[in-house]
Chain A
Amino acid sequence: MTTQVTTQPRRAAQASQKRKFMIEAIAVIAIALILILIMPMVLTGFRLNLLGRFLALAIVALGIDLIWGFTGLLSLGHGIFFALGGYAFAMYLELNTLGEGQLPEFFGLYGVTELPWFWQPFNSFPFTLLAIFTIPAIVAGLLGYLVFRNRIRGVYFSILTQAALVVFFNLFNGQQKLINGTNGLKTSTSVFMGQAVGSDGMRMFFYISTVIALIAMYALCRWLTSGRFGRMLVAIRDDENRVRFSGYDPTAFKVLVFAVSGAIAGIAGALYTVQSGIISPQFMDIAFSIEMVIWVAVGGRATLVGAVLGAVLVNMARSLLSERFPDVWLFFQGALFLIVVTALPDGIIGWGRRQFGSVVSSALGLAPTDLPYLEDTDPAVVETVAETPEFAEK
């Protein structure tokens, strides 16, 4: 009797889990096929290129969701990792275009006659592929280690990442002789695998690579957040002290997840660079990095689909609005920040789940799901609200 009682719900839960997983896998593959096969037929070359860029940005959003939505670390410096990935790929492309012993053109302008030492390894394609995600990961890991080691967290972490962003911006912006400073590196005329990066064939290739990378990163994040590791991240977000008292070391987890997130941003940066045709220190603009956060917030924190959806939607809105009414875009974006923070803390996905969640899951034959991100789970909120008399009344 007792065994039946305990195993039956578990079996049911397992079956439901499996079913859910199958549905999700089918949905992801279907979306990938639509993106790869149908979109190129529907959209013009220009629009397809835009979509490719947005999908690359969606990859960064995944990385930010991993650290912010799940772990509660708000990074305002993801532009660093994005740009590092982009620069790594752009440097390879610069060198690949040239013949033996030649220097990239801009070096001539500043009287540099010898290739700087850190350009040397980018002659090799395998190294570059590795560097695109390892360099950002190392930088993120180092920064994360130095900050988290001292239990600096919350807003302090955010401010420090923002300061780091400014620092990296200055570093790249000021070094004309090493990395072409403000002008950045152009990739559109570079040659990759025998073809110009800006040519139609290459564009299609990069578009498809972006879709595949997005799916792969989605799978990676899904895997990371679903198991014990994911539960640890959520635990750190909700009550870090309790995690520490339970005998775990939150620092190691935070450094690791920050490094992974940096690596994801690096991959996104490389894919974005080749599709936009240039990488410059502008990618480390303060505004751009905060924007990345808002994509995740609009889609829904702690929902990976939300991050992707938010990135694509906000950027589409941006390109539509700033084409027609350039003045209005900043107003709109500012309002978006305010609305998402005050009225829609769960984003589109959270709102949708609350409104239609039960309908959808019953249609698919699933058990109803809990919201992964609820404001009430934040103990600080509950405490302060309870403490403040004017809130206690409500």
Chain B
Amino acid sequence: MLEGLIGGLFNGISIGAVLLIVALGLAIVFGLMGVINLAHGELMMFGAYTTFVVQNVAKSMGGIAPDLYIFAALPLAFLVAALLGLLLERTVIRYLYGRPLETLLATWGVSLILIQFIRSVSLPMVIGLVIFAVLFLVGRWVLTRYTDWERIQSWANPVFLGLSAVISVLAWVLISSGTSAAFSRAWFSTRNVDVTPPSWLRGGISVGDTLQFPSARLFIIVLTALCLVAVYWFLNGTAWGLRIRSVTQNRGMSACLGIPTGQVDAITFALGSGLAGIAGCAVTLLGSVGPNLGSNYIVDAFMVVVVGGVGKLVGSIVAALIIGVTSYLVGSGTMALLFPPTAFFQPVIAFFTFFATTSMAKVMVFALIIAFLQVRPAGLFPPKGRSVEL
């Protein structure tokens, strides 16, 4: 009985840890900036694909590389996702602060583009993208230098964007139709790919006769804890963390005191996105990687943020653990076993057995969340004062 309880708790915590590592970046971006990033799952997916690439490189290197690739993959996944997030913030989200519903739609659009990008990325397409970037950026630079940019900006920007886009798409189509199939092959295709975990993360640690802790799950729990510590240190122990917190509390006053709010926004968003990359790297240990990876996690992660309350990381931690343990207990049917199988408890047992699958557990957890929000509408740890109004 005790072993069963510990096993159940461990599984619940490990589900919670996955949820938490996904939700951590969201909590930062949503909690500190008020931006709903529906592309968070796709940033995760980019982290996962980065891991896939790193693993393939490690495999070709041989030796002990396939066992240690994960330590190279983690920072690289962080970097790729953070850079992508930075690009996203600078080009789209920057213009949408204070309009959360609009960011929601815009980031959904971005997520669609990212999904299709992974599906059909190929060498000609990358060449097309480079052409686009060069044409647009260099062209704009030339124009700002030699013309009255302020005056022509309003029409020149869209025209320039359109022109560069058309030329680069043409280049993409021409190159991919004019070259060999091997050259223009899609890199990842639409099918799921498998990432083999390092050998020391396969198997598990056994305690006693029945208890078995899978190493991958343990690794994720440790990784989540490390990420939490790092984020806490960054937010509370560094100069940029101080600036981020001050901008969160009062943007106008921070700007008056000389804090570059634009840069702070960019860094916060990049940090949140980078954490998504790490989460993506972590979930490769649990299953195969596909273009739709992100959508499996995003809704649950948002639930964690909503239950936890906005702006407090500790809320997300508690919420993730509670949701993880609850969905494991309900989904595995442990709840049904808790009651003695007498006729009196039969309806209760039947009720819990009905919900004893992973997908039906979601139904129950959602009902519980709605019930919980009736009592505490602003989550476990609501922010105090006027900032509650979003």
- Residues in chain A within 8 A of chain B (CB atoms): 74, 146-147, 149-156, 158-160, 162-164, 166-167, 170-171, 173-174, 241, 286-287, 290, 293-294, 297, 327, 330-331, 333-338, 340-343, 345, 378, 380-381, 383-385, 387-390
Contacts and interface: CB of A to CB of B under 8 A. Distances in A.
Contact of A155 (B96, B101, B111, B303): B101
B244 to A, nearest CB: 16
A171 B363 contact: yes
29 contacts: A147-B370, A152-B373, A155-B100, A155-B104, A159-B36, A159-B302, A163-B299, A163-B369, A166-B362, A166-B366, A167-B367, A287-B112, A290-B105, A293-B105, A327-B120, A330-B112, A330-B113, A333-B112, A335-B109, A336-B109, A338-B106, A341-B102, A341-B105, A384-B97, A387-B251, A388-B251, A388-B261, A389-B255, A390-B261
A343 B98 CA distance: 16
Interface string B111-129: 1110110011000000000
Closest 8 CB pairs of A and B: A337-B109, A384-B98, A150-B377, A334-B113, A330-B116, A334-B112, A170-B359, A334-B109
B237 interface: no
B193 to A, nearest CB: 19
B44 to A, nearest CB: 16
Contacts of B106: 337-338, 341-342
B288 interface: no
Given A156-B306, A337-B109, A390-B261, 19 more contacts: A149-B374, A152-B373, A153-B390, A154-B390, A158-B36, A158-B104, A159-B303, A174-B360, A287-B112, A331-B116, A334-B109, A334-B112, A334-B116, A340-B105, A341-B106, A342-B96, A378-B99, A380-B99, A383-B98
A146 B101 contact: no
B366 A163 contact: yes
A347 to B, nearest CB: 12
B357 interface: yes
B216 to A, nearest CB: 25
Interface of B: 36, 92, 95-102, 104-106, 108-113, 115-116, 119-120, 158, 251-252, 255, 261-262, 295, 299, 302-303, 306, 357, 359-360, 362-363, 366-367, 369-370, 373-374, 377, 389-390
Nearest to A290: B108
A154 B101 contact: yes
A222 to B, nearest CB: 24
A338 B39 CA distance: 13
A207 to B, nearest CB: 31
Contacts of B374: 146, 149-150
Contact of B97 (A173, A334, A388): A388
Nearest to B295: A286
Given A155-B36, A293-B105, A388-B255, A338 B98 contact: no
Contacts of A383: 98
Contacts of A287: 112
A337 B390 contact: no
A389 B265 CA distance: 13
Given A152-B377, A286-B299, A331-B116, A338 B110 contact: yes
Nearest to A164: B366
Nearest to A337: B109
Centre residue among B96, B106, B119 by max chain A CB count within 10 A: B106
Contacts of A160: 306, 370, 373
